[in-house]
Structure 1
Amino acid sequence: MAAAMLGGREVARLLQVLKYTNRGYASQRTLNEVVIASAARTPIGSFQGSLSSLRATELGSIAIKGAIERAGIPAEEVKEVYMGNVLQAGQGQAPARQALLGAGLPISTPATTINKVCASGMKSVMMAAQNLMCGNQDVMVAGGMESMSNVPYTMNRGATPYGGVKLEDLIVKDGLTDVYNKIHMGNCAENTAKKLTVSREEQDTYAINSYTRSKTAWESGELIKEVVPVTISQKGKPDIEVKEDEEYKRVDFSKVPKLKTVFQKENGTVTAANASTLNDGAAALVVMTSEAAKRLNVTPLARIVAFADAAVDPIDFPIAPAYAVPKVLSDAGLKKEDIAMWEINEAFSVVVLANIKMLGIDPQKVNIHGGAVSLGHPIGMSGARIVGHMAHVLKQGQYGLAGICNGGVTYLNLAVGTYLYNRSVSPACHQLFRLLLSVHPHQECFHLLNCVGLSCGAPAVRGLAASAPPNHESGATIIKQPSLGH
């Protein structure tokens, strides 16, 4: 309705400005729109399970190759690769570089390995999106990889003391310990459970639901579409093909309420069943600018709308989402009611339960196909996995929000929206929208007809359809603020 009140002079002024900005005289550079062209992952293997013979970099290669093949683009189009990897000891130099070369990308392709603990995979996607938005690259691969089965033990250098030396497990030291409070992350989860009065029974019920949802998702085919099979070579034996997650089948619901607590023996609530597990796996996404998608004739799965970080006291890492979610919603110009699907990483069941309570969000929209409790949590992979899963599942026009906490402690959120249109909107239409928004800042969206005019009741505004340049490409669409970088 606000657009209908535009007067003839205002419309004429906007058209005049559009005329010149369409010639390339705009002085302010706008951010590129970033889309997810494809997302692929390996199955998630259990600790010392089906994928344990493969290093993290080998799993990463499989995910990268699968994502590029699904995007349907030549490997040479990928200009740079970011891969998250937490437990890097013993893997050799530059794990991300190893992964991209193993995937068959050109030797000239640069790579960066990201370590932000459990958020590494998502941070890789966010950093790639920033690179694309700024125009430094136009096609990238981002993701994460981890083989917790192959993480070594270590000992300190120096003279061997009488009585021997103590080996340290780097899974625990570098991946699962709050370095500031010198406690396991599970004790942080216990702290949150007590602060927010989340009971053992609530956590057990949530965990059972996670396993049930994952089983249903596999049986219905929701998860198979994102998984790339992994072939395991065996000496003197036939190859084994792993094409399904292992962890969700390894549960006996009758034993869940009877399990002993792991981290706090008295009044504890966190058990092996309601916490995530140690796992192996990798995930990768092909992300690109919308212009690159058009050039390569790629139909995107979704677009990246906004992302944000938030930091809290390290011991409170489970509730960091409650501080990050408002930031990303504000950046995206959305309300929590606009989110059709939430992916909150299930480091522990209490993480999800605490944030559902603090944020007041609908539990039925959260982790609808299960999560890390039932599928597994290869810590460098998980952030990329939940973004990729969301991109596959969101329906046309929906928004989803993925978030993951990490030790240290911060929490990352990334909002993804699916397209409301089939082809990229012209820069001239973007400019027109911004100009209209400057006149009517409270208007949430304008309806564009073939990207040449506004659909509303005022004849003067309808005249834009006839007056604007005729060379725009797109069907009728509703353009919301987040899709234009506001």
Structure 2
Amino acid sequence: MTVVILEGVRTPFGKFRGKLADVSAKQLGSVAVKELLRRVPEAKNADGVILAQVIQAGEGQNPARKVAVEAGVDLSVPAITLNNVCLAGLASVSDATRRIVLQEGQLYIVGGYDSMTNAPHTANLRKSVPLGKAEFTDTLINDGLWCSLSNESMGVLTDKKNKELGITRKEQDEYACLSQQRAYKALQEGRLQEEITPVYAHEEWLKEDEGIRPNTTIEGLAKLRPVFTEDGTITAGNASQMSDGASIGIVASETQAEKLGYTPLARIIGWADIAGPDTSLHLKPAQAIEKVLEKTELTVHDIDLFEINEAFASVVIASCKKLKIPYEKVNVNGGAIAIGHPLGGTGFRLLLTLVHELKRRGGGKGIATLCGGGGQGSAILVEVPKRW
């Protein structure tokens, strides 16, 4: 059973508390699904909707169902909301692929979304507060940016691992500058716009990613103070940007794509999930890449392009060092340091960027991969044939 990525689209990724601040997570998801249905109307009667949302506090029952129905998906289509932190958007694709291989269905809406700006503060007042002030929890930190196993922020955890692996501040700043430069060039050349449907907010249309900084320099990055620890090397400039956004697509059997008369974006060749042996992030993409290559009997040299999520610059640096992947093959249109990382909205964005770039280059194989909170990783290997 051959499974394909039939179509995909994303919103621009807005800066934290930026132009999309008044647009809810569910609204962002619905904007992308609605555009997807415009392109592929048959998806209104998909076999299922599988969408990722990491920060779900206060979002109501099964937010993916709400997103789908408000966008125009038929009420008879079941929906499920996934959450294994940053991996969830990619996990929606592998989950849909399994369902198709098992012949449970032929076409699924996948992807994810989050509004980090709109993550609420919560308090447990069920037992009341007899005296004193109530304590509130920031769900953005608690549910999105805090390792529940090691009980520390992902930034502190990553700063520690940077020291252990000997990854320097200079290396991180150099990589971060490269990401910004690549993203700005891709924006100027219209490569990112191929993925994007605009969002209306504050009486204007946001048509491009808000976090790209064209004037970024290594010298400027070097002036930024560490964010997490006094002697740390992670700054606001060499880590992913907190963002608001959605990326949504369709996964289908190739037979169904042909039946409906659509040319797919790519074939899904394999996928892999890994965890451990610790809760750090750095080498999880490398481990996931190794596993998917082993499953498909391929090598790093067989892969033309990689999208490795830039949760932190050091994650990409560490994974590339381990597998000896040249930067020329990695995140060639920039990554989350420049574009942004709206948690559930990132996984499918990586695949979407990857398949569009492979298509521009005349086809080839690529891997999209992420690390995730709790010390996990996922990877999906795709191929864009030179001709369909």
Per-residue deviation, residues 19-39 of structure 1 (Å, max 9, x unmatched): xxxxxxxxxxxxx11011111
1:86, 1:116 within 8 Å by CA — same for their partners in 2?
yes
**Structure 2 partner of 1:409:** 375
Per-residue deviation, residues 220-263 of structure 1 (Å, max 9, x unmatched): 1110000011122x5xxxx3111110001386535311111011
* Aligned positions of 1:123-138 closer than 5 A: 123-138=91-106
**Greater CA radius of gyration, 1 or 2?**
1
Per-residue deviation, residues 42-68 of structure 1 (Å, max 9, x unmatched): 000011111111111111111112223
> What is the aligned residue count?
384
Per-residue deviation, residues 56-98 of structure 1 (Å, max 9, x unmatched): 111111111222333x343434221100000001111111001
**Structure 1 partner of 2:27:** 58
**Structure 1 partner of 2:187:** 218
2:365, 2:384 within 8 Å by CA — same for their partners in 1?
yes
Paired with 1:378 and 1:165, the residues of 2 have a C-alpha distance of: 29
Alignment counterpart, residue 122 of structure 2, candidates 154, 161, 165: 154
Instruction: Give the AA of the match of 1:90.
Output: G
Per-residue deviation, residues 452-478 of structure 1 (Å, max 9, x unmatched): xxxxxxxxxxxxxxxxxxxxxxxxxxx
**Structure 1 partner of 2:364:** 398
Paired with 1:55 and 1:347, the residues of 2 have a C-alpha distance of: 23
TM-score (norm 1): 0.77
Paired with 1:41 and 1:314, the residues of 2 have a C-alpha distance of: 33
Q: CA deviation at 1:191?
A: 2.0
Paired with 2:214 and 2:366, the residues of 1 have a C-alpha distance of: 29
2:45, 2:73 within 8 Å by CA — same for their partners in 1?
no
Instruction: Give the AA of the match of 1:193.
Output: N
Paired with 1:223 and 1:143, the residues of 2 have a C-alpha distance of: 18
Alignment counterpart, residue 316 of structure 1, candidates 266, 274, 280: 280
Per-residue deviation, residues 409-468 of structure 1 (Å, max 9, x unmatched): 21000001012442xxxxxxxxxxxxxxxxxxxxxxxxxxxxxxxxxxxxxxxxxxxxxx
2:305, 2:354 within 8 Å by CA — same for their partners in 1?
yes
**Structure 2 partner of 1:380:** 344
Paired with 1:337 and 1:250, the residues of 2 have a C-alpha distance of: 32
**Structure 1 partner of 2:59:** 91
RMSD over aligned Cα atoms: 1.5
Alignment counterpart, residue 389 of structure 1, candidates 323, 338, 353: 353
Paired with 2:151 and 2:107, the residues of 1 have a C-alpha distance of: 41
**Structure 1 partner of 2:226:** 261
For the pair 1:170 / 2:135, whether they are aligned, the reply is: no
Instruction: Give the AA of the match of 1:172.
Output: I
Instruction: Give the AA of the match of 1:416.
Output: V
* SS of residue paired to 1:315: coil
Q: Gaps (5+ residues) in structure 1?
A: 1-31, 423-486
For the pair 1:115 / 2:83, whether they are aligned, the reply is: yes
**% identical aligned pairs:** 38
**Structure 2 partner of 1:363:** 327
With CA pairs under 8 Å and 6+ residues apart, which has the higher RCO, 1 or 2?
2
Q: CA deviation at 1:314?
A: 4.3
* SS of residue paired to 1:37: strand
Paired with 1:339 and 1:156, the residues of 2 have a C-alpha distance of: 49
Residues 280, 294 of structure 1: alpha-carbon distance in 2 compared, 3 angstrom cutoff: same
**Structure 1 partner of 2:50:** 82
Paired with 2:77 and 2:367, the residues of 1 have a C-alpha distance of: 30
Per-residue deviation, residues 318-373 of structure 1 (Å, max 9, x unmatched): 21122221110122221110111000000000000011111111111001011011
